Structure 1
Amino acid sequence: MKTTLLFPAIALVCSSVAHAATPADAAKAAESCEAAVTETIKEMRGRDASDVQFQKDKRMLSPTTGEETDVKGAGRYRNSVGASAPFTYGCAYNSKTGATSGIVFRDAGGLRASEGKEWQPDLMSVSPEACETAVAATLKSKHPRVGRIAFGSDSRQLRPAPGGRASLEGIGAVQRAPGMNLVQFNYRCEFEPGNGKLVAVQAFE
């Protein structure tokens, strides 16, 4: 399993304007967040990422409280071997300052089971997005000024856990505060068989 920081991703919880955003506000929020996401992809992937494109039909803007808007969406970039790599993202845009407060960036990669001939995981009961969202919330609680949180889809691995559960494990990187270097962390989530309920979340820096 690779341990290099080849990550798709980063998470932030946002707040936004109490009133409905105007078309101009919405366009500015989308433009600012997508520019920040593009910068994050290039920083995380380096030369492995090019031709970043966003899907307008997948874009969702959700005003929350205060002066921020939560922007979510999906897109694709071209990796080092020329293949198209899909991703999802999230971002908080502040209409007063014009700044983005954080990014959620996840490669839409798959899962692989650990080496083992007998154990057959129920892939339909495991949600990488639910796991990584919970891990991001845990890290944000630990580091209130968190800047970025990235998850590596190529590091995801399923293992058997007690009680017939499935354990999803992986590697990520966290920027504990804006301007700080990224620090690698390992994470682990457990899902109940059948209903796919997330019952345990851990992150180790």
Structure 2
Amino acid sequence: MNIIKSLQWRYATKKFDDSKTLTEEKLNILKQAFNLTATSFGLQTITMVIVTDKTIRKKLVEHSYNQKQVLDASHLLVICINEDIKDDDVDMLFDSIHSIRNTPETILSPYRSDLKITMQQMSKDERQEWSNRQAYIALGNLMTVCAVENIDSCPMEGFSSEMFDEILKLNKKKLKSVLLLPVGYRAEDDMFASFKKVRKEVDKSVIEL
């Protein structure tokens, strides 16, 4: 399928076939796609947690408005943000640039300092909101990759972040869950799979100047 046909094929899967599981190859594609997602400044303040354990996911269902996709999907992807952004996060980025690209510190130093100042001038809530926007970029990227790979998915915002953080012990990793993406394969009797897409005409959603 070409990319447009793939995007026409995808939909927010309401019912997964719980007997079908992603291969390690497919799962690795999603891991790589997440890691390659564009983020502002290249500062990756997002983490993807992959939940396979059905016992854990059964506990999570009641904290996601009883949406069964959380349990029935092959895997549950939980997109998280850092609880905060510290100078260490900025240093980790620029140290990696220096190591991988051999960029001299004399060139990197002013950019390193400017980014630290930029983050320091934000409140903690503003830094979290900044990271939230990166999480949505990752979600969109993953959904597109899923469509290309013929993997079904269902983006979710409706869940208790606090309870997910507690059950998955994300607090200990200084992470905060913000988005869910159950992935797997649609059930044959999911009636939503056959629904026609409802979208504006392209000339109504795109303005050319």
- Do the structures match in fold with TM over 0.5? no
Report TM bin, short chain.
under 0.3
TM superposition score normalised by structure 1: 0.27
User: Larger helix proportion, structure 1 or 2?
Assistant: 2
Name which one, 1 or 2, has greater alpha-carbon Rg. 2
User: Larger strand proportion, structure 1 or 2?
Assistant: 1
TM superposition score normalised by structure 2: 0.27
Higher relative contact order (CA 8 A, sep 6+): 2
